Structure 1
Amino acid sequence: MQNIIGAMTALITPFKNGKVDTAKYEELIRRQIAQGIDVVVPVGTTGESATLSHDEHRECIEIAVATCKDTDVKVIAGAGSNATHEAIGIAQHAQKVGADGLLSVAPYYNKPSQEGLYQHYKAIASSVEIPFMIYNVPGRTGVDIEADTAIRLFDDVSNIYAIKEATGSLERAIELSSKRPDFCVVSGEDSIDYAMLANGGKGIISVTANLLPNYKSKLVHSVFNKDFDTAKKINDDLYAINKALFVESNPIPIKAAMYLAGLIDTLEYRLPLTPPSRETMSKLEDVLKGYEVIK
């Protein structure tokens, strides 16, 4: 099994008249490919997966796979749910249609125990054969996948190879890497990508990369080439936009920034998400002046 690492983008899902804008979705993925991203991640948190129908979720995965076919770019499909059987169904469909790997967020709302988390992930990952990444984002799910639980899963389930750590804790990332050097830790917090990578992280799954994939791919590849000065400068240069993109709940600001930059034609969300405030739009307009967004 080949580990899937590098510069990865947590794709937004564009809507038009209330439906997924499939033509724009394909166009956005092609832009990611052209600007050096290694992996696209459809229908994660940033892709508003919680408000997509199952049919829409599967369609987004299929579009990503088809668009990346015959390129070097991999697809890690979002396959998360707070119902284990639903996550299994999504995971098996993603494998069937050709996804290279899977990303599964911790089950939200029901707040399982650590044993519940272990059994949840073991069941999903064991239902497929492709590489599997755990996704820990307690600020959104209400539950933390503790280091010992993640390590137990890595030890016990052969295709679990990585964890997307979005706790914002460098200590957690270092704990995982120090205990299991072969366990791929992936940054899920744009602002600390460089710090995570410099401490042994094997990649990033970035929100900001929807807007600036060329910056994010260069950051990661610079670290991999041991050009730490270049990588740190890019991370520092991105601080303002990284901060601005999280002034409201993700993906509200990133979609607004992409709309302002002319990357998407309509600014639509699914309720309960709503458009950003005027203050946020103004802030994004100001911050965007500091970056060159290549279409």
Structure 2
Amino acid sequence: MFSGSIPALVTPFDSAGAFDESAYRDLIEWQVAEGSSALVPCGTTGEAATLTQAEQFAIVRICVDQARGRVPVIAGAGSNDTRVAAANLRAAKEAGADAALMVPPYYNRPSQEGIFRHFEALAQDAPLPIVLYNVPARTVTDILPDTLVRIVTAFPHVFVAVKDASGVLQRVSQHRAALGANFCQLSGNDDLALAYNATGGVGCISVTANVAPRLSAAFQRACAAGNAAAALVLHDRLFPLHVALFSDASPGPVKYAMTRVRPDFPAGLRLPMTWPSEASRQAIDAALAHAGL
């Protein structure tokens, strides 16, 4: 259902922390023009944790409106409360999203059975396809392969893809072995996207694509075409940037990088997120130079 370079969009805030709609619409236009194949508003990189529900789905609606059907919109909609997650799914549908990106419950740390029951409850009346988002470093819960297979097998028309940010590359093969080559696997780690695609992935929900959408899209096209040599060249060109964008707490580094490639971009952050350190900024500047950006 999804493939290629899919930016996990940053949310532009002004210096007072207010959402800048004009800058967001400009960002979406740029992403579509540069070759991004879908958009993810209000995910981790979009600082969803600092948005009210009303803000979150107003932003999703703006993204849908600006995309105008040219690329799909996958709305960040997860929660650690199953009832809230269900309400978020309905709000994402009402905002016009094509699918929802859903983390397993965080903080309360359910068992694998609890994770399954959470997604089972969402599947009962799901108004949208769901992309499972496994990011144990943030949620402290891990959708283990057996559990993911159980979820997808039980509700194949609801759970259409996974964004895998576990960092465990062997899971691509484990998922393929159990679910077949047609199950959509998207990397959640830019630095692992080359290896992820080589073992069966079909794209990346990307932080780097915010800053380098054209190069990120070209990299994914090379992977899809089986052009390993071209993909490796682009990977090497982007790899320092992949690393630098996590040299301090995200999304501080990527927002700084945005101001370097788009000087008019508003780079406000909402607490507790802060501007990256001097060392991080230097690493980003060097990585942007390496990438020719």
- Residue 175 of structure 1, CA deviation: 1.0
Contact 2:249 2:276 in 1 (8 A): no
Match of 1:84 in 2: 82
Query: Matches of 1:12 and 1:40 in 2, distance apart?
Result: 11
Query: Where in structure 2 are the equivalents of 1:112-261 lying within 5 Å?
Result: 112-157=110-155, 158-181=157-180, 182-261=182-261
Q: Identify if the C-alpha distance between structure 1 residues 264 and 133 changes in structure 2 by more than 3 Å, giving closer, same or farther.
A: farther
Match of 1:95 in 2: 93
Match of 2:13 in 1: 15
Question: Which runs of structure 1 show a deviation greater than 6 angstroms over 4 or more consecutive aligned residues?
Answer: none
> SS of 1:19's equivalent?
coil
Q: Identify if the C-alpha distance between structure 1 residues 220 and 126 changes in structure 2 by more than 3 Å, giving closer, same or farther.
A: farther
Q: How many residues in Structure 1 have an aligned counterpart in Structure 2?
A: 290
Alignment RMSD: 1.4
Contact 1:95 1:128 in 2 (8 A): no
Match of 1:111 in 2: 109
Query: Matches of 1:168 and 1:138 in 2, distance apart?
Result: 9
> SS of 1:193's equivalent?
helix
Contact 2:12 2:23 in 1 (8 A): yes
Measured against aligned partners, the alpha-carbon deviations of 1:24-71 in whole angstroms (never above 9, x if no partner) come to 111101110000011000001010101111111011100111011142
Match of 1:278 in 2: 278
Question: Which 5+ residue runs of structure 2 have no aligned equivalent?
Answer: none
Query: Matches of 2:236 and 2:291 in 1, distance apart?
Result: 13
Query: Matches of 2:89 and 2:148 in 1, distance apart?
Result: 19
Query: Matches of 2:250 and 2:266 in 1, distance apart?
Result: 17
Query: Matches of 2:250 and 2:42 in 1, distance apart?
Result: 13
Question: Which 5+ residue runs of structure 1 have no aligned equivalent?
Answer: none
- Residue 263 of structure 1, CA deviation: 4.9
Contact 1:65 1:99 in 2 (8 A): yes
- Residue 162 of structure 1, CA deviation: 1.0
Query: Matches of 2:263 and 2:68 in 1, distance apart?
Result: 23
Query: Matches of 1:123 and 1:151 in 2, distance apart?
Result: 16
Letter in 1 for 2:266: T
- Residue 264 of structure 1, CA deviation: 4.8
Measured against aligned partners, the alpha-carbon deviations of 1:179-208 in whole angstroms (never above 9, x if no partner) come to 211322110000011111111112210000
Q: TM-score, normalised by structure 2?
A: 0.95
- Residue 12 of structure 1, CA deviation: 0.5
Q: TM-score, normalised by structure 1?
A: 0.94
Measured against aligned partners, the alpha-carbon deviations of 1:105-139 in whole angstroms (never above 9, x if no partner) come to 12211111111111112222333243211000001
Letter in 2 for 1:40: L
> SS of 2:7's equivalent?
strand
